[in-house]
Every structure is written in structure tokens, then in C-alpha cells.
Amino acid sequence: MKDIMRVKCLLSSDVEALINQQIKKEAHSAAIYLAMASWCNTNGYDFSSDYFFDQAEEERAHQLKFYKYVLDMGGNAISPETTNIKTDYNSFREVFEDALDQEISVTQSIKNIAARCYKEQDFVTLEFLNWFFKEQREEEYKARRALELFDVIGEEGTGRWEIDKHVRKITYNEA
């Protein structure tokens, strides 16, 4: 039966496996952002907490988008387990450094899927991934801008309060 289903699937088993890994990565990202939101909330950074709650929701939406794509293509989407989520941070800045690292990691993972799709000439999946590349440009931009606030404003005195206040105001305007 598996061989019959593979014939009906529009994804190669390698691309399907990579997308299922991406589904797990998106779920992991959502869980990381929830942990960041919790840490920020506990430490009095309410605006940053809301920012990370929004980020968690976006990552969950990305996870579902990949999940539904695999199913639409006749594949088998796998619901992932998320473990090993960091819940404690040494500083407010570290939260944003980790957020940027996470976004860069997600972008690289999507690039790996695209590279495999190019090799297999899977142009349908490549077209699907274009939306994610645009989204990752925005996500990395916002993460970098948030981190830059620490250098521009500084953390002394009311600096962290000012940074927290400005985080939610970061927007990405595609040129």
C-alpha cells in the first residue's frame, strides 16, 4: 500500500522528509517563542512578552501551512513532539539574541529544502517555499532590529524599559 501511495504523492520521499523536519522546526520555534514570552512576562517586559506571543502564533501558522502542504500533495505529514525548550535566560538581551539565531536557523532549513527541490526539479514545492523566503526576510529583519535596540538605546537606567516599549513597534516595509 505504501508504494501505491508514493506513486500518488507529488513529493519525493526526500522532500517529504525535509518538510516534515521543517514542521518540527516550526513547532519547536513556536514553543521557544512561548518560553521567551513567559520569561519576558515574568521579568516585567510586557511589550516583549506580547511580541513573542505573536511570534509563537506565527510559527504555529507556518507549521500548519507546511503540514497542510504535505497532505495536499498526497504525503504523510507528521505531528512533531517538541522537547528541550530553553526556559531561562541570563539577560533580556539574550532572549533577543536567541530569537535571531532561531530565525536564521529556520531560514537555513528552508534553504536546504529548496536546494533539494532544485536538484529534483520540484518546481511546485519551490513555488510554495517562495512565500516562506519572503516571510523569513521579514522575521530576520524584525529580530535584528529588536537586537539593535540594545545598542542604540542601551540597557542602563530606563534603557530596558525603553527597549521593551519599542519592540512591538518594529515593522517591516518591503521596499
Three cell numbers, residue 142: 524584525
Please give the C-alpha separations between residue 171 and each of 90, 136, 139, 147, in angstroms, as whole numbers: 27, 13, 10, 14
Q: What DSSP assignment string belongs to 62-87?
A: HHHHHHHHHHHTT----PPP------
Amino acid at 40: C
Q: What percent of the chain has pLDDT over 90?
A: 83
As a whole number of angstroms, the distance between CA 93 and CA 133 comes to: 26
Local confidence band at 172 (pLDDT 50, 70, 90 cut-offs): confident
Instruction: List, for residues 22-43, the tens digit of each pLDDT value.
Output: 999 999 999 999 999 999 999 9
As a whole number of angstroms, the distance between CA 128 and CA 91 comes to: 37
pLDDT at 4 over 70: no
As a whole number of angstroms, the distance between CA 168 and CA 155 comes to: 17
Instruction: List, for residues 79-131, the tens digit of each pLDDT value.
Output: 988 899 999 999 999 999 999 999 999 999 999 999 999 999 999 999 999 99
What domains does the chain contain, in order, with CATH numbers? Answer: 2-167 (1.20.1260.10)
- Model confidence, pTM: 0.90
Question: Which DSSP category does 173 fall into?
Answer: -
